[in-house]
């Protein structure tokens, strides 16, 4: 795959070139072909590296030779990205620096870099905020919105069936947005009530999704009359596979119709799935498998959510709280 081809897939087509872009695009090839990361993850990596390269060019005339970077320059980048009106959040900053660390490790394995210029640099600590989620009542209200919008004449039947099935699968399966958008008809086992999901790092897992989600998927399949197992399960504009951006736009529409908080994202439906499973006495290992977490420690954050809710309920209800 050549530079222009990769660029059109992962970079801004209007301005694909910046210092070191060719090396970055080779790195993107590595992420795609060897690490098998999703195109959305690769896009984020490329965006982080492009941001750094353009900043470095403006600050000290960086020409694309990553081997000449110094720790002081990387430290200055991190400091600058925390200042001014365009300052990055700490989470975004950590993600950007994580992309740089991965890139520098790749360069070292290729013998193009002796030492990482990020060695010894300490980032500001992240606040330990708990995942946001919908209550079971709120979730039910949101999932009812596509049908309500159809009955009110706001959307077509095709949109209603697609959106209803997508939301049910996001919540019922605890899927990441990229996993949902990548589903094909062949990924659904209607007899077993499961989905075969392609997750992070190209890892496949099989997850149950529940009768309500399966019924919504069956209605969508019958309506579309689709038979090809390789056909996208969800379609966006002009018949193309559903994109995360499209899904996020119509999710906002349903949140507004339901009168729910507008900061709810598709990923928070995944948080809701995990939280509600634990509320109903699922064990951590089960939730870990459902969500496709590589480490149990990632899943344990949800125990803090349920414990926080328990403490809150206790303070309100117990006479000696």
* Active-site amino acid positions: 176, 200, 267, 270, 293, 302
> Taken in order 12, 18, 22, 25, is the CA torsion positive or negative?
negative
Residues comprising the chain, all counted: 321
Helices and strands per DSSP (H, E), number in the chain: 15, 3
What is the rounded distance in angstroms from the CA atom of residue 144 to the CA atom of residue 138? 10
Name beta bridge partners: 204.
198
What is the rounded distance in angstroms from the CA atom of residue 224 to the CA atom of residue 282? 35
What is the rounded distance in angstroms from the CA atom of residue 262 to the CA atom of residue 248? 11
- Written as six digits, the tokens of 270 are 């995944």
194 phi, psi to nearest 5 deg: -135, 165
Strand residues in the chain grouped as ranges (E): 188-189, 194-198, 204-208
In 3-state terms, what secondary structure has residue 229? coil
Instruction: State the residue for tokens 């736009």.
Output: 249
What is the rounded distance in angstroms from the CA atom of residue 45 to the CA atom of residue 193? 35
Name beta bridge partners: 184.
232
Nearest CA-CA partner of 172 in 204, 212, 133, 138: 212
């Amino acid at each position: 795959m050549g530079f222009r081809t990769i660029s059109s897939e992962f970079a801004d087509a209007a301005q694909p070139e910046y210092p070191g872009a060719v090396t970055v695009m080779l790195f993107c090839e590595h992420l795609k072909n060897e690490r098998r990361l999703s195109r959305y993850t690769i896009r984020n990596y490329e965006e982080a590296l492009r941001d750094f390269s353009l900043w470095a060019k403006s600050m000290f005339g960086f020409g694309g030779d990553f081997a000449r970077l110094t720790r002081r320059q990387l430290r200055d980048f991190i400091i600058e990205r925390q200042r001014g009106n365009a300052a990055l959040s700490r989470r975004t900053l950590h993600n950007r620096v994580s992309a740089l660390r991965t890139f520098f490790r790749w360069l070292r394995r290729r013998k193009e870099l002796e030492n990482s210029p990020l060695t010894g640099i300490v980032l500001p600590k992240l606040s330990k905020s708990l995942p946001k989620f919908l209550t079971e009542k709120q979730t039910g209200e949101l999932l009812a919105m596509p049908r309500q919008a159809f009955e009110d004449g706001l959307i077509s039947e095709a949109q209603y069936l697609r959106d209803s099935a997508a939301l049910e699968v996001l919540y019922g399966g605890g899927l990441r947005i990229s996993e949902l958008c990548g589903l094909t008809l062949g990924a659904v086992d209607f007899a077993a009530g499961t989905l075969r999901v392609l997750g992070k790092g190209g890892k496949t897992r099989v997850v149950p999704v529940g009768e309500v989600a399966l019924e919504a998927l069956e209605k969508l399949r019958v309506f579309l009359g689709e038979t090809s197992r390789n056909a996208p399960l969800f379609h966006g504009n002009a018949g193309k596979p559903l994109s995360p951006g499209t899904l996020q736009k119509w999710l906002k529409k349903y949140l507004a119709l339901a009168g729910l908080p507008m900061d709810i994202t598709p990923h928070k439906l995944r948080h809701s799935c995990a939280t509600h499973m634990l509320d109903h006495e699922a064990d951590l290992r089960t939730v870990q498998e459902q969500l496709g977490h590589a480490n149990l420690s990632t899943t344990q954050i949800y125990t803090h959510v349920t414990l926080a809710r328990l403490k809150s309920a206790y303070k309100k209800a117990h006479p000696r709280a």
